[in-house]
């Protein structure tokens, strides 16, 4: 495999998603896009992810909506059942709460409840993440809620390449997929293959090989993880970094193989630690690798409270690189 | 059809001056807030209501301290109109421990029960259902209190609006639903998001009076609010007021207004309610230039004092993350 044949371009997550949507809509006329302010008349989305789509594909396929999250998800469900592949935007993850009935009782369950007669091949795009002092109703990570709901897949990409590849797969997936875009991941440019194709859902990415500890994370928390890993490297701790990419269904095989190799696992996410995805991963790894681990599985996540407003509190709320370093060192010293 | 008032209450001279004072306090406070953000002294999303001052000012002139409001992210004007003290307000938007919410809520989530500011929500549509609960409590308590639910035009397209208005009507709740129709929901034009030309018409579907009000005319706002509040206090139930207005500073601080034309913005600015009402007060002999300049200086002194106070307050301690989750503090 030679990498010099792959043309790389610098792009950010926002551009990667835009490219994926462009490509998907071009290739498949069944792909639709809807959401608040997403058409060009309204600026092409709050941060511009959907810019150009309505101009290129018309406002029958690319529709700005009223502020009506239930109606957005409901329309996407119906269109999906009628043979289309809608990509519905819920501007921010906290606003999914307004559409919970549609997402949880309907999108996720219609295939099962209809004995397989119905299918709902839709994508829900949503954005979240703390760090901008948007306080308690604009920054939550609720992936655990949806991971706990059978019938909807949950994807949280980190790199622009993954955004492109995972979007291409999600749009063609026969089932509902929620893709969570986390703040920074949209704006930090990274080297990306110009022709990035689909990346399968449910497959983690081993970002960096290591021997002392496996560190699992995803989304914008990966930036803090990479900072921490650099520190840990200097301190002589060799970390195997896994970007989970899909939170549900998660890539047990890759995580278990790595944890078995290193004997130590630390899961880090921005979502609350209580009942967070880390709990599920820790439980599974301890069930499968009991006796082979050199340390208990570590978990870092947000404390049990709402996202606070004051910068000082928000900083304390978020898992910071020094905490990751300290926890990784603590685990690495065991066993 | 939307309703027309049969009896128009009009504010006397003192009340007009009171309304103007509230408007000016909102406008000065907004100006100073934007300046602080520009200077990098506050970091927070800020949804200016410059241009919408008449609405809460005209309504609040008719409210008592124990009347309640539930408002939204674009809501500081509603709080200032309700006479929220500026020191704790500023301390909150600066994220300090002496803020109304100890710095935990910030500018989108201020609460100050002493002045009746009960809920400030960042979720479009969520002020209305909760206002109903305060209305119900007022009926149970046998008080004459009313609750005002403030929201935007876009919010009238979310399910919560429809559920809340219907429930308020069935239960005859003392709630006034006040829609500031500023013509835009984020970047979506009113007519592209709303299937009816007047939001007040939606009141018919819920069996309550609905009025379209000139939200840039404090006298018109006052007259309609008067009718709605009287009706509520008399136990006759809710009213929907659609107040037509414009927001001059876009959706959120930093908005470039790309989704509106220069002409339409210029035309809206021509109708800036503040200078117009000021001129009216002078023309009608209700106030003199000197009086109004003095009023402005006093308000600016109050705002500056609040900023100085806020900037000198402490930041909250990290222990605050364990407090107020439940009544009982979470152990460290
Ligand atoms: C349920 C929900 N959906 C979307 C948003 C994002 N959002 C915030 S303000 C806004 C526009 C609201 O417009 P309008 O109700 O007209 O009030 P205005 O901001 O114009 O005062 C939107 C879509 C939100 N906060 N909550």
pLDDT score, position A4: 63
Regarding whether A239 and A93 lie in a shared domain, the answer is: no
Question: Where do the DSSP E strands lie in A41-176?
Answer: 62-65, 85-92, 123-128, 153-155
Find out whether B32 and B302 touch, Cβ atoms under 8 Å: no
Residue B214 β-bridge partners? B244
Domain boundary among the residues A166, A193, A220 is at A193
Regarding whether A219 and A146 lie in a shared domain, the answer is: no
Residue A200 lies in a domain: no
CA distance B241 to chain A (A): 20
Regarding whether A170 and A73 lie in a shared domain, the answer is: yes
- Residues A28-47 have pLDDT tens digits of 999 999 999 999 999 999 99
pLDDT score, position A3: 54
Q: Whole domain around residue A229: which residue ranges? A: 205-332
Domain boundary among the residues A130, A161, A193 is at A193
- Chain B residues with CB-CB distance to A313 below 8 A: 95, 103-104, 315-316, 318, 320-321
- Chain B residues with CB-CB distance to A95 below 8 A: 123-124
CA distance A201 to chain B (A): 31
pLDDT score, position A318: 98
Question: Hey, whose CA ends up nearest to atom 20 of ligand 1?
Answer: B185
pLDDT score, position B44: 87
Beta pairing, strands A85-92 & A31-36: parallel
Does residue B67 carry a pLDDT above 60?
yes
- Residues A61-88 have pLDDT tens digits of 999 999 999 999 999 999 999 999 999 9
Task: Quote the percentage of chain A above a pLDDT of 70.
Answer: 99
Q: A234-263 burial by CB neighbour count: b if 16+ within 10 A, else e?
A: eeebebbbbbbbbbbebbeebbbebbeebb
Domain boundary among the residues A193, A213, A239 is at A193
Q: Is A335 exposed, middle or buried (0-12, 13-18, 19+ CB in 10 A)?
A: exposed
Instruction: Judge if the beta carbon of residue A270 lies within 6 A of ligand 1.
Output: no
pLDDT score, position B289: 98
- Residues A163-174 have pLDDT tens digits of 999 999 999 999
Distance CA A17, CA A168 (A): 9
Does residue A200 carry a pLDDT above 90?
yes
Residue A151 lies in a domain: yes
Regarding whether A35 and A164 lie in a shared domain, the answer is: yes
User: Could you tell me the CATH number of the domain that includes residue A285?
Assistant: 3.40.50.920
Residue A2 lies in a domain: no
- Residues B71-128 have pLDDT tens digits of 999 999 999 999 999 999 999 999 999 999 999 999 999 999 999 999 999 999 999 9
Distance CA B48, CA B31 (A): 9
Please give the residue of chain B at the shortest CA–CA distance from A40. B259
Regarding whether A170 and A47 lie in a shared domain, the answer is: yes
Regarding whether A176 and A96 lie in a shared domain, the answer is: yes
User: Could you tell me the CATH number of the domain that includes residue A16?
Assistant: 3.40.50.970
Regarding whether A212 and A163 lie in a shared domain, the answer is: no
- Residues B158-185 have pLDDT tens digits of 999 999 999 999 999 999 999 999 999 9
Residue A244 lies in a domain: yes
Residue B178: asked if its preceding bond is cis (omega within 30°), the reply is no
Does residue B142 carry a pLDDT above 70?
yes
Regarding whether A146 and A93 lie in a shared domain, the answer is: yes
Instruction: Judge if the beta carbon of residue A67 lies within 6 A of ligand 1.
Output: yes
Confidence of residue A115 (pLDDT cuts 50, 70, 90): very high
Distance CA A31, CA A172 (A): 9
Among B185, B244, B245, say which to mutate for ligand 1: greatest number of ligand atoms within 8 Å of CB. B185
Residue A81 lies in a domain: yes
Nearest CA to B198 out of B220, B219, B188, B183 is that of B183
Can you read off the two tokens belonging to residue B114?
Answer: 């002493």
Regarding whether A19 and A144 lie in a shared domain, the answer is: yes
Residue A199 lies in a domain: no
Regarding whether A70 and A48 lie in a shared domain, the answer is: yes
Regarding whether A168 and A35 lie in a shared domain, the answer is: yes
> Of the residues A106, A138, A148, A269, which is catalytic?
A138
Regarding whether A23 and A72 lie in a shared domain, the answer is: yes
Question: At what angle are helices A252-262 and A277-289 packed, to 10 degrees?
Answer: 60
- Residues B304-332 have pLDDT tens digits of 999 999 999 999 999 999 999 999 999 99
- Residues A310-335 have pLDDT tens digits of 999 999 999 999 999 999 999 999 98
- Residues A206-256 have pLDDT tens digits of 999 999 999 999 999 999 999 999 999 999 999 999 999 999 999 999 999
Instruction: Judge if the beta carbon of residue B155 lies within 6 A of ligand 1.
Output: yes
Please give the residue of chain A at the shortest CA–CA distance from B325. A305
Question: Hey, whose CA ends up nearest to atom 12 of ligand 1?
Answer: B185
Find the B128 Cα to ligand 1 centroid distance in Å. Answer: 14
Q: Which pTM was predicted?
A: 0.96
Find out whether B10 and B219 touch, Cβ atoms under 8 Å: yes
Q: What average pLDDT score do residues A278-306 get?
A: 98
Find out whether B134 and B63 touch, Cβ atoms under 8 Å: no
Find out whether B278 and B296 touch, Cβ atoms under 8 Å: no
Confidence of residue A1 (pLDDT cuts 50, 70, 90): very low
Examine the residue annotation and report whether A138 is marked as an active-site residue of this protein.
Answer: yes
Does residue A190 carry a pLDDT above 80?
yes
Mutate to test the interface with A, among B108, B257, B331, B332 (most CBs of A within 10 A): B108
CB count within 10 Å of CB A128 equals 27
Conformation bin of residue A201: beta by default, left when phi > 0, alpha when psi is -120 to 50: beta
Q: What are phi and psi of A152, to 5 degrees?
A: -130, 130
- Residues B241-279 have pLDDT tens digits of 999 999 999 999 999 899 999 999 999 999 999 999 999
Place of tokens 């893709």: A179
Rounded to an integer, what is the distance from CA B272 to the centroid of its chain? 17
A20 Cβ contact partners less than 8 Å away, ≥ 6 residues apart: A163, A164, A165, A167, A168, A171
Number of domains in chain A: 2
Place of tokens 């009896």: B7
Residue A3 lies in a domain: no
Q: Which helix (H) or strand (E) is B157 found in, with range? A: none
Distance CA B104, CA B323 (A): 10
Distance CA B65, CA B58 (A): 15
The domains of chain B, with CATH numbers, are 48-314 (3.40.50.970)
Residue A141 lies in a domain: yes
Distance CA A322, CA A303 (A): 16
Q: What torsion do the CA atoms of A18, A155, A13, A282 make, to the nearest 10 degrees?
A: 180
């Amino acid at each position: 495999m030679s990498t010099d044949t792959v043309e790389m371009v610098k792009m950010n997550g926002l551009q990667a998603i835009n490219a994926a949507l462009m490509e998907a809509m071009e290739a498949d006329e069944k792909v639709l896009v809807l959401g608040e302010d997403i058409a060009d008349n309204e600026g092409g989305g709050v941060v511009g992810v959907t810019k150009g789509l309505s101009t290129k594909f018309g406002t029958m396929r690319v529709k700005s909506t009223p502020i009506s999250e239930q109606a957005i998800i409901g329309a996407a469900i119906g269109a999906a059942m009628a043979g289309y592949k809608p990509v519905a935007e819920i501007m921010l993850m906290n606003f999914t709460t307004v559409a919970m009935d549609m997402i949880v009782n309907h999108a996720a369950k219609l295939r099962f409840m209809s004995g397989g007669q119905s299918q709902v091949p839709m994508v829900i795009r949503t954005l979240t993440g703390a760090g901008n002092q948007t306080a308690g109703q604009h920054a939550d990570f609720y992936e655990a809620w949806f991971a706990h709901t059978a019938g909807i897949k949950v994807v949280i990409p980190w790199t622009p390449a993954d955004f492109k590849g995972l979007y291409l797969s999600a749009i063609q997936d026969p089932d509902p997929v929620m893709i969570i875009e986390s703040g920074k991941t949209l704006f930090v440019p990274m080297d990306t293959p110009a022709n990035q194709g689909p990346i399968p859902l449910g497959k983690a990415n081993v970002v960096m090989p290591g021997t002392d500890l496996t560190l699992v994370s995803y989304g914008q928390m990966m930036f803090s993880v990479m900072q921490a890993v650099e520190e840990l490297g200097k301190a002589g701790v060799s970390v195997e970094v896994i970007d989970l990419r899909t939170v549900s269904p998660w890539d047990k095989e890759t995580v278990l193989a790595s944890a078995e190799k290193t004997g130590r696992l630390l899961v880090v996410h921005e979502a609350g630690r209580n009942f967070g995805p880390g709990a599920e991963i820790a439980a599974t790894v301890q069930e499968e690798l009991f006796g082979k681990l050199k340390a208990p599985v570590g978990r870092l996540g947000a404390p049990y409270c709402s996202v606070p407003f004051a910068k000082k509190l928000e900083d304390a709320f978020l898992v910071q690189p020094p905490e990751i370093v300290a926890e990784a060192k603590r685990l690495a010293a065991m066993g | 059809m939307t309703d027309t008032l049969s009896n128009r209450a009009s504010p006397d001279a003192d009340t007009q001056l009171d309304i103007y004072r509230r408007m000016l306090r909102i406008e000065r406070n907004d100006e100073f807030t934007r300046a602080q953000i520009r200077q990098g002294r506050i970091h927070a999303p800020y949804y200016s209501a410059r241009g919408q001052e008449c609405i809460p000012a005209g309504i609040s002139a008719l409210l008592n301290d124990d009347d309640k409001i539930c408002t939204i992210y674009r809501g500081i004007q509603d709080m200032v109109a309700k006479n929220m003290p500026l020191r704790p307000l500023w301390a909150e938007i600066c994220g300090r421990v002496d803020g109304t919410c100890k710095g935990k809520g910030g500018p989108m989530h201020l609460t100050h029960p002493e002045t009746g500011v009960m809920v400030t929500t960042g979720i479009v549509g969520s002020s209305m259902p909760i206002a109903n609960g305060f209305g119900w409590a007022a009926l149970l308590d046998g008080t004459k209190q009313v609750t005002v639910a403030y929201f935007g035009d876009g919010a009238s397209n979310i399910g919560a609006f429809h559920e809340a208005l219907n429930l308020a009507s069935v239960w005859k709740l003392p709630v006034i639903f006040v829609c500031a129709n500023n013509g835009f929901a984020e970047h979506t034009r009113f007519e592209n998001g709303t299937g009816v030309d007047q939001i007040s018409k939606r009141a018919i579907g819920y069996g309550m009076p609905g009025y379209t009000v000139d939200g840039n005319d404090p006298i018109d706002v006052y007259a309609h609010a008067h009718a709605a509040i009287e009706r509520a206090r008399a136990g006759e139930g809710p009213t929907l007021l659609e107040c037509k207005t414009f927001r001059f500073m876009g959706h959120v601080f930093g908005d470039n207004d790309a989704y509106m034309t220069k002409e339409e913005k210029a035309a809206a600015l021509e109708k800036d309610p503040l200078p117009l009402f000021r001129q009216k007060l002078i023309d009608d002999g209700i106030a003199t230039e000197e009086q109004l300049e003095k009023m402005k200086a006093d308000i600016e002194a109050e705002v500056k004092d609040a900023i100085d106070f806020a900037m000198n307050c402490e930041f909250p301690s990290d222990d605050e993350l364990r407090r107020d989750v439940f009544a009982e503090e979470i152990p460290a």
